Structures are given as C-alpha cells and as structure tokens.
Amino acid sequence: MEIKTFWRIVIKGIGLWLLINSVYVIPQFATTFSFNDGTLNWANLISVWFITSGTLIVYLLVTGFFLFKTEFIINILKLDKNFTQEKIDINIPYDAVLSIAVIVIGALVFVEAIPKLCSTIYEFLRQKELFKDYMGTSWIMFYFLKTIFGYLIMTNSKVIVKFIDKKKTN
C-alpha cells in the first residue's frame, strides 16, 4: 500500500466521522422551542436557528472536503512527503481497508446510540407522559435514527465506499 493510499483512507475515515457527528446539530432545532420557556421571542429564536444552520453548513462543507477532495488535502498538507519508504508493507486492497474503516465507524455509531436510546426511552416511560408532550421526544427520535443509521452504515459499507471513493474519469 502506498503512503498516499494510507492517507486517503485516514482522511476519508475522518470525513465519514464528521458527517455522522454533523447529525448532532439537527436535534438542536427542535430543542430551541424549549429554550424559550413557553414565550416566543422571535429575535432569540431566529438567532439560534441562524447559528445552528451555520454550524450545520460548516460541518457539511468540511465533511464534503474530506470525503471528495482528499487528494487536494494530501497535496496541500504534503502528507505523502518525507517518508523513507514509498510503500507500507500491507497486502490488503485499498477498497477492503476503506470498507473495514466504514464498518468500524458504523459500529461505533451503533454502539454509542443504543445505550442513549435505551436511557431516553426509559426516562420517557418513567415520566408517564404522552409522546407529544414529552420534552425529550426529539432526542428519542434522534437516537432511534442514529441507531438505524449506524446499522445501515455497517451493513452497506460497499455502497458507501463506492460513493465516497468515486474515481474521476476524464
């Protein structure tokens, strides 16, 4: 495996991790209503939504850069320079290593979301409120979707690898 291939795997892995963590911004939209304590202050609400939207946009831009402009990052930071060897002695194909990285990241997301989903469901059941009246409804939905998202990442790693590692054909 070449040094450049190693750095591609690392940078694409970081990009996928950033993409998954950018999802944390979404429940903040729903929690802004509880932020106002029943009174609707539009100035505060709009400023919070603006900041949250800006955060999400920055996350997605940086993530897109890591996933789709990997070569540019390697060249700008000169990550493949100043190595004594041109290759790392690993006889595993690039796609297989990237697929393993995607599976590991999906597993981490899944394993992280399951306990949080269980604890928020437990808290909801303990409160004995209606689902629509419960303050943490958005978090229950978020952790449920995150659990499904982690599972889908693990089971569809080949599709994700094909998507993030499109070869440019000119």
Q: How many Å apart are CA 140 and CA 58, to the nearest integer?
A: 25
Q: Is the pLDDT of residue 133 over 80?
A: no
Q: What's the pLDDT tens digit per position in 29-50?
A: 666 655 555 566 777 778 877 8
Output the pLDDT for position 126. 86
Spatial CB neighbours of 121, under 8 Å, sequence gap ≥ 6: 140
State the average pLDDT over residues 19-38: 68
Q: Which amino acid is at 82?
A: N
**Do residues 29 and 54 make contact, with C-beta atoms less than 8 angstroms apart?**
no
Q: What's the pLDDT tens digit per position in 60-118?
A: 899 999 999 999 999 998 888 887 777 877 788 888 888 999 999 999 999 999 999 99
170: confidence class by pLDDT, cuts 50, 70, 90: very low
Q: How many Å apart are CA 20 and CA 152, to the nearest integer?
A: 12
**Do residues 36 and 45 make contact, with C-beta atoms less than 8 angstroms apart?**
yes
Single out the residue of 116, 141, 135, 105 nearest to residue 36, CA to CA. 135
